[in-house]
């Protein structure tokens, strides 16, 4: 009979009622919360842009990435591919490709990143273009930039 009581005691310890002290979420109810979009542009000059990959990092402020949209051109209307696990580290790597015939030339918006900004610190970001390529898989010279949208 004693082994049975030991088993019941162990079961109660692991599956019994939750402890009285529950850990609090990492949210200060006093901090302000607002949302803002961040538009990402790639300027491929006179080259057709068929593929890209970039990394965006938060370097100041407390920011959570809450959504990703595609760009303006039909070639990149759908959101690029990204690793959701990387979002937990205040950064995102996005990549996309299109081998169609209607590829953008010059400066085009390739993504809109939706951000939740927590606290009063103005967020700052660092962006870098890992690669840009044409439809023949040739790397092309391109410039990347972003524009902060209106905060709400």
**Residue 54 CB coordination number (10 Å):** 23
Across the range 32-54, mean pLDDT stands at 95
Beta strands 33-48 and 105-118, pairing class: antiparallel
Torsion of CA 123, 44, 131, 58, to 10 degrees: 0
Q: Is the pLDDT of residue 33 over 90?
A: yes
Q: What is the DSSP letter of 83?
A: -
For residue 136, the number of C-alpha atoms closer than 13 Å in the C-beta half-sphere is: 4
Task: Work out the pLDDT band at 152, boundaries 50, 70, 90.
Answer: low
Task: Work out the pLDDT band at 8, boundaries 50, 70, 90.
Answer: very low
pLDDT for residue 48: 95
Q: Is the pLDDT of residue 108 over 90?
A: yes
Across the range 121-146, mean pLDDT stands at 95
Sign of CA dihedral 27, 30, 34, 40: negative
68 neighbors 112 (Cβ within 8 angstroms)? yes
Return the residue matching tokens 């610190």: 121
Task: Fold for 36-148, please state it.
Answer: Immunoglobulin-like (2.60.40)
Task: Return the domain boundaries, the chain.
Answer: 36-148
Q: What is the DSSP letter of 135?
A: T
Alpha carbon 12 to its chain's center: 42
Tokens of 97: 């490709």
Which pTM was predicted?
0.77
Q: How far apart are CA 125 and CA 118, in angstroms?
A: 15
Task: Work out the pLDDT band at 150, boundaries 50, 70, 90.
Answer: confident
Torsion of CA 116, 119, 121, 127, to 10 degrees: -20
Over residues 81-102, the pLDDT tens digits come to 998 877 777 889 999 999 888 9
């Amino acid at each position: 009979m004693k082994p049975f009581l030991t088993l019941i005691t162990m079961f109660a310890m692991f599956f019994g009622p939750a402890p009285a002290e529950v850990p609090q979420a990492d949210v200060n109810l006093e901090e302000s919360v607002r949302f803002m979009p961040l538009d990402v542009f790639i300027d491929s000059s006179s080259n057709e842009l068929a593929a890209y990959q970039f990394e965006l990092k938060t370097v100041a402020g407390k920011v959570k990435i809450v959504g990703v949209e595609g760009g303006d051109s039909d070639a990149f209307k759908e959101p690029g591919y990204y690793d959701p696990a990387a979002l937990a580290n205040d950064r995102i790597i996005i990549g996309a490709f299109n081998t169609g015939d209607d590829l953008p030339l010059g400066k085009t918006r390739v993504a809109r990143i939706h951000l939740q900004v927590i606290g009063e610190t103005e967020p700052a970001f660092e962006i870098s273009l890992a690669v840009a390529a044409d439809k023949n898989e040739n790397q092309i010279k391109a410039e990347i930039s972003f524009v902060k949208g209106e905060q709400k």
